[in-house]
Amino acid sequence: METTHSASSPRDGIAASVRGLRKSYGATTAVDDIDLDIAAGEVFALLGPNGAGKSTAVEILEGFRRRDAGEVHVLGTDPETAGRAWKARIGIVWQRPVEGSPLTPLDLVRHFAGYYPESWDPEEVLELVGLSDKKRARVRSLSGGQSRRLDVALGIVGRPELLFLDEPTTGFDPEARRRFWTLIRDLAGEGTTIVLTTHYLDEAEALADRVAVISKGRIVAQGAPATLGGRAEARARVSWTADGHHREIRTEEPTRVVADLMSTFPGEIPDLSVHRPTLEETYLRLVEEPGADTQESLAANREELTT
């Protein structure tokens, strides 16, 4: 029997909410008191180093792993007790589930489509992921990137309200990644909520409305990629060359510094560059410094979600 939870119903704009989530494997604490809110229709990325606890947290949200403690509601239901109707509303892109199958992509996508009440047309899905020309090939003959695209097709064929993508573009060539990003944006544009785990910071920046960084089982920061971990307020580094020497200053007013330099140099300012911390630099600082954790950023994020 499915239980519903009015406070986390997708009608209220929350696709998933997690409070005080904990999970250990023997002496290893994989998830250590996590709180999360994922808004309906947003692309939410979970970032973190290997072994940080991302997969454990996501598998609990998907209903594939039991938690030790905490409250979890996904599409208004506790995944531990969710039934078939709930599962039909969720899409999961596994890490290579069908590698080596003797079937064709079309056979597999048709088969998966049969599980869902309102699935996409299998041929249309294969077109969307760029596999039309391989739809009658043997799955075992697909390249790594092509079989990953098939995984994506299988994850979306049921028209899920909430789609989990676990490192979806590993093995994609750059063009396939761009194409995949467009597909994800299209799905999000149609209202699908997307939870993405990725090690590619550029992917998180390109796709995610918000990201959460997990380190050693704890969330150390969450927010929009542009503002994560105080990134927007971080000082810019302005550098140039003068009299054959590299010059550099850190400033909160890079425009004023550049204007001053323009009045000093008659023409081009040699080797001028203005650099703000990238998402990757911010991420590395967050996972390397446990003290970077700020309750402030978590509270601000919750506020962002409720406004």
Ligand X SMILES: Nc1ncnc2c1ncn2[C@@H]1O[C@H](COP(=O)(O)OP(=O)(O)OP(=O)(O)O)[C@@H](O)[C@H]1O
Told to check if 56 binds ligand X by CB under 6 A, we report yes
Of 1, 6, 50, 244, the one binding ligand X by CB under 6 A = 50
Told to check if 55 binds ligand X by CB under 6 A, we report yes
- The single residue listed with the structure tokens 């544009």 is 189
Told to check if 51 binds ligand X by CB under 6 A, we report yes
Of 8, 18, 40, 53, the one binding ligand X by CB under 6 A = 53
The window from 45-53, 98-106, 150-158, 295-303 that contacts ligand X (CB under 6 A) reads: 45-53
Residues in the chain, overall count: 307
Nearer to ligand X, 56 or 297 (CB): 56
Told to check if 295 binds ligand X by CB under 6 A, we report no
Residue type, 241: T
Nearer to ligand X, 48 or 130 (CB): 48
Q: Per the structure block, which two tokens stand in for 177?
A: 């990644």
CB of 214 to ligand X, least distance (A): 7
CB of 82 to ligand X, least distance (A): 21
Site string for ligand X, 61-90 (x = CB under 6 A): ------------------------------
Of 16, 52, 131, 201, the one binding ligand X by CB under 6 A = 52
The window from 4-12, 23-31, 106-114, 246-254 that contacts ligand X (CB under 6 A) reads: 23-31
Residues that bind ligand X (CB under 6 A): 25, 28, 30, 48, 50-56
